[in-house]
Amino acid sequence: MSPPPPAGAVRLLCLDGGGVKGISSLMILDAIMKRVRQIEGEPEDVRQHFPFKYFDLAGGTSTGGLAAVMLFRLKLSTPNTMEHYDNMSKRIFSPSLGPLNLHHFGRPGYWLGNGVLKLKALLLPARFSAKPLERAINDVAGIDTKLKRDPDSPKMLMCSTLADKGETILFRSYDPPRDAEPVTSGVNVGDFADVTILEAARATSAAPTYLPEMIIKGHRFWDGGLLNNNPIDQVWDARYDLAPTTTQTPVVSCVVSIGTGWSESKPSSSVFFKRFLNTISQAVSFATNTEAKHRDFERNIRRMNERLPPSEQTKYFRFNAPTGTEIFNLDDWQRMYRLKELTRKYLEQPDTRVKISECAQVLARKRTAIHSNNGASNGIVGRP
């Protein structure tokens, strides 16, 4: 059995992007929280599933960014966040003609609505209006609510892409460190210190062809998923944000990364043209391939751990529900029920249950250490 991490070691949570598929991430996170409470001997109460009590920093992209806001900045429970998420998905991704929601008209409305979306994709920059998303965010967060809070609040960040420069910009709920300035000339982290939750949420979720770009302080933003659909690298680098006044690297006890579901690649067609299109499609998909980033990060963590004493090693947990050959589009809210079924099946698998228990043990161990110190944290531990 490995020795426990030192008091003050930090825990990081990373949430992938994926549109409506983010419901799968939330279900997995809720299962982890449930297991944590069981280990702690607490009575089962879904209203008490609060991830912000167990992680020092959370980061997400697009749908993962919206989840991070609700779970950490607004301090919602996982069940409450899932309720809001279901409602948001339907409101944001329902096709409409004027005030009419076409999906309210049964099967004919479903096919007509999908046809309208395809037509908009050809003729307009975005097939969905940003208004439903903005109303949904304001309903949850309140109008003009700032993203940044006091320094002692739970810390979270969202990834977005600076459209003109192709650089990642992080919107933080806390003051950014001075050494975290963007490389792009003319852009400073201070420019976005007073952004609202609405502005940051729009910026992280502005997926090209789906939702309009977001303009903040004259800068154009696209969906963070273009560069960081799996934002694990950004979350890992942001561990330095937790110790901005020290030259030491913070010790990270665990990293929990949760995907939005992954499907198996379909076999290539024997027809040359179809095979060519399949190759192009596969090449484009690499830009948002969350599992590829996971594999790279897993390798890097393993190499790092081999060079550290056991007490300073980082445990890395990756959860992502397989969907077989079923493919779910980021706007396919009417098939969320099916993704939920597949996620439940994944959570019931013996290997998944074992991994969730291992993850929960690490999180519960940390919480016990905090409470044993009369509620006072020992501060961030670093290594030279």
Residue 275 has pLDDT above 60, yes or no: no
| 213-262 pLDDT tens trace | 999 998 999 998 889 999 999 999 999 999 876 677 889 999 999 999 99
Q: Could you tell me the fold of the domain covering 10-80+135-383?
A: Cytosolic phospholipase A2 catalytic domain (3.40.1090)
How is residue 312 written in tokens? 């300073």
Residue 13 has pLDDT above 60, yes or no: yes
Answer for the pair 201, 194: CB distance below 8 angstroms, yes or no.
no
For CA atoms 368, 373, 377, 383, the dihedral sign is negative
Residue 70 has pLDDT above 90, yes or no: yes
Domain boundaries, the chain: 10-80+135-383
Please tell me the predicted confidence (pLDDT) of residue 226: 87
Give mean pLDDT, residues 137-151.
91
Model confidence band, residue 362 (pLDDT cutoffs 50, 70, 90): very high
Residue 156 has pLDDT above 90, yes or no: yes
Residue 267 has pLDDT above 50, yes or no: no
| 20-57 pLDDT tens trace | 999 999 999 999 999 999 998 887 776 678 999 999 99
Please tell me the predicted confidence (pLDDT) of residue 2: 52
Q: What is the DSSP string of 293-330?
A: HHHHHHHHHHHHHTTS-GGG--EEEEE--B-TT----T
Give the C-alpha distances (Å, rounded to integers) separating 87 from 23, 82, 140: 11, 9, 11
Residue 374 has pLDDT above 80, yes or no: no
Please tell me the predicted confidence (pLDDT) of residue 96: 61
Model confidence band, residue 329 (pLDDT cutoffs 50, 70, 90): confident
Which residues are annotated as catalytic?
62, 223
| 170-197 pLDDT tens trace | 999 998 888 887 887 778 777 888 999 9
